[in-house]
Structure 1
């Protein structure tokens, strides 16, 4: 049997989301067609960075409750069981998980792993680097500006000039976002100078790099991508909600958002979004899986690429697996395909 190291938890604000994703993936490996093929070895990274396997990891996986521990001075002593793992399935959301750090470690360990490598993960995580890459590739995006924490916290002489520049470049409403966080953490929608100042200060507390995007009156649609060198795009899904924007509470509180799959879109718009999703995936040299998010301005027919997520949420109700389910790839088959893609990419790398 193939031993799959299910790596979950992690040192990020999305720790709890990772636990839910991991539980859903572990369940998929117990389904017919997978249970005869795979043995899952849960490996849990607690919030302080210590790695756990065996009964401790299994307990966290089953209960969904984080392990409360103090910082372990020997946290880099990995469990001996890890040497048995044939392929890794990291499901670590946010910094220290999908930003290339863990991917670099697994690359050094010379073992296959699900998802993008160091380049695709790191560029996909940093919204400024990502937008720069997409601009170079000719993919349409909303107007944006990139600023740094040092500019925001530069004092009363410089900060007002920064806000003046933002207001001269972008129209209200706009969105202020930390460049390297997921699940809408630290994001604010602003309509006034005072809200802008407060949002910049808040975003700077989360990240050294900040992006400000001009708001558009658009439908929010998403496309899932699966593959390596020849990726395929799923049907399109649409998110609808009553809140100001798709924030953390709306994302993870049942009933606050609706996922409409497939989205009711003109055929030509669906095709264009799928083509753009694949191009975004290839621009970052992503592999395995990604979810690509778009704005569709129905009034003008414009499509703007919002962002790519190279390690999207993977609960049974998350958009990524639901999109593939609607495309004809059920959840258990999807995790099997991802492990196979990880092995193929690793073998191609060795051959190269």
Structure 2
């Protein structure tokens, strides 16, 4: 590496969370220490086209400038050259001239960014990257697989049922009966693979259930239905690789009937309480369960783990792990770490260090299948 660590910031993406990703990217660009890092932007359009800009001398003033339009950026195959140069050591320049990068920071939420796809590409390019690997990203994105891993780990969670489009079309009556017997109404219907609460509905009757399932199938081929839990929503931030640590818990009070996309990003009325006003033993249990969940999916870098604290009996139920949580200075993940004594800039430094450390360790793996010495 040169004097500065060359960081490729990848944002945008072919996902319903494209605009959220731009918010994250702008916040990170403003927070990086430009004396320590050389920042190179990579924008992925909603159509999936890659655009690479010149290394930044300072963060952009306007979010619209992040789209790297016109003649200000390389596009298509040319945009990927700085990434795939890493495949051939002879092409890696010895100075920070912008032709290659040392580590990638994927700030992509949702499909094609948080689901293991870009992580697989970066693994093929043999370049360090921030956040979860292929397996953890895929499991963390797929709510059905995630819940199966949680069950294997013995983590308590709500009752759920799931099915794919083919199964539903073939016998909707069977799955309606399953939901009504096992879960009852109201219940929540979600696409299995999507973040930021997109495509989620609450059903109070059979008619609403059918409509909600049809709506969820717009966003994925698999659907999960969960029981309604009258609960407080508790969250914990996790940071690390093989020996992760957990932040103080926080609590979300939703402005809507449930914490949907509007409540998260549009109306601005949901409330964050950090630290959460919960008993010390519950806070410690949430932190311990968050680390267990992180390790269960083979997490690395960062994750936010979400829980339900059931009002009826005070039982803590794990809801999900988000392997690429919102990361603006006003998002829950960095705010919980701020309350735990870690600043936003320190988080960025740590995540870069964790990415490089994980990559260095993986270089010890023998992929050639040679005989042991």
TM-score (norm 2): 0.87
Within the candidate set 281, 289, 293, 2:302 is matched to: 289
Within the candidate set 265, 273, 283, 1:260 is matched to: 273
1:60–1:67 CA contact under 8 A, matched in 2 = no
Aligned to 2:249, the other structure's residue is in SS state: strand
Q: Does 1:336 align with 2:349?
A: yes
Q: Distance in 2 between matches of 1:190 and 1:144?
A: 14
| Counterpart residue number, 2:255 | 242
- Per-residue CA deviation, residues 162-209 of structure 1 (Å, 9 max, x unaligned), is 212211111211100000000100000111111001001111121111
Q: Distance in 2 between matches of 1:273 and 1:320?
A: 15
- Are residues 148 and 59 of structure 1, via their aligned partners in 2, closer, same or farther at CA, if it must alter by over 3 Å? farther
Q: Which runs of 5+ in 1 are unaligned?
A: none
Deviates more, 1:59-68 or 1:166-175: 59-68
- Shift in Å, 1:242: 3.4
| Counterpart residue number, 2:128 | 112
Q: Does 1:97 align with 2:113?
A: yes
2:110–2:194 CA contact under 8 A, matched in 1 = yes
2:39–2:55 CA contact under 8 A, matched in 1 = no
- Per-residue CA deviation, residues 206-230 of structure 1 (Å, 9 max, x unaligned), is 1111100001110001000000010
2:41–2:54 CA contact under 8 A, matched in 1 = no
Structure number with greater Rg is 2
Q: Does 1:346 align with 2:359?
A: yes
- Are residues 6 and 332 of structure 1, via their aligned partners in 2, closer, same or farther at CA, if it must alter by over 3 Å? same
2:237–2:304 CA contact under 8 A, matched in 1 = yes
- Shift in Å, 1:351: 2.2
- Are residues 76 and 211 of structure 1, via their aligned partners in 2, closer, same or farther at CA, if it must alter by over 3 Å? farther
Q: Distance in 2 between matches of 1:172 and 1:60?
A: 49
1:292–1:307 CA contact under 8 A, matched in 2 = yes
Within the candidate set 126, 146, 150, 2:142 is matched to: 126
Q: Distance in 1 between matches of 2:189 and 2:56?
A: 37
Deviates more, 1:181-190 or 1:252-261: 252-261
Q: Does 1:306 align with 2:319?
A: yes
TM-score (norm 1): 0.93
- Shift in Å, 1:316: 1.6
Within the candidate set 88, 113, 128, 2:104 is matched to: 88
| Counterpart residue number, 1:23 | 26
Aligned to 2:122, the other structure's residue is in SS state: helix
Q: Which runs of 5+ in 2 are unaligned?
A: 70-74, 86-99, 366-373
1:220–1:239 CA contact under 8 A, matched in 2 = yes
- Shift in Å, 1:254: 4.8
Within the candidate set 111, 132, 154, 1:138 is matched to: 154
| Counterpart residue number, 2:49 | 50
- Shift in Å, 1:153: 2.8
2:41–2:53 CA contact under 8 A, matched in 1 = yes
Computed over aligned residues only, the root mean square deviation of the Cα atoms, in angstroms, reads 2.1
Aligned to 1:342, the other structure's residue is in SS state: helix
Q: Distance in 2 between matches of 1:183 and 1:176?
A: 14
| Counterpart residue number, 2:179 | 166
Deviates more, 1:144-153 or 1:176-185: 144-153
- Shift in Å, 1:57: 9.6
Deviates more, 1:78-87 or 1:120-129: 78-87
| Counterpart residue number, 1:63 | 62
Q: Does 1:208 align with 2:200?
A: no
- Shift in Å, 1:298: 3.4
2:29–2:59 CA contact under 8 A, matched in 1 = no
Q: Distance in 2 between matches of 1:57 and 1:20?
A: 17
| Counterpart residue number, 2:288 | 275
Using CA pairs under 8 Å that are at least 6 residues apart, name the structure with larger relative contact order, 1 or 2.
Answer: 1
Q: Distance in 2 between matches of 1:39 and 1:194?
A: 55
Aligned to 2:248, the other structure's residue is in SS state: strand
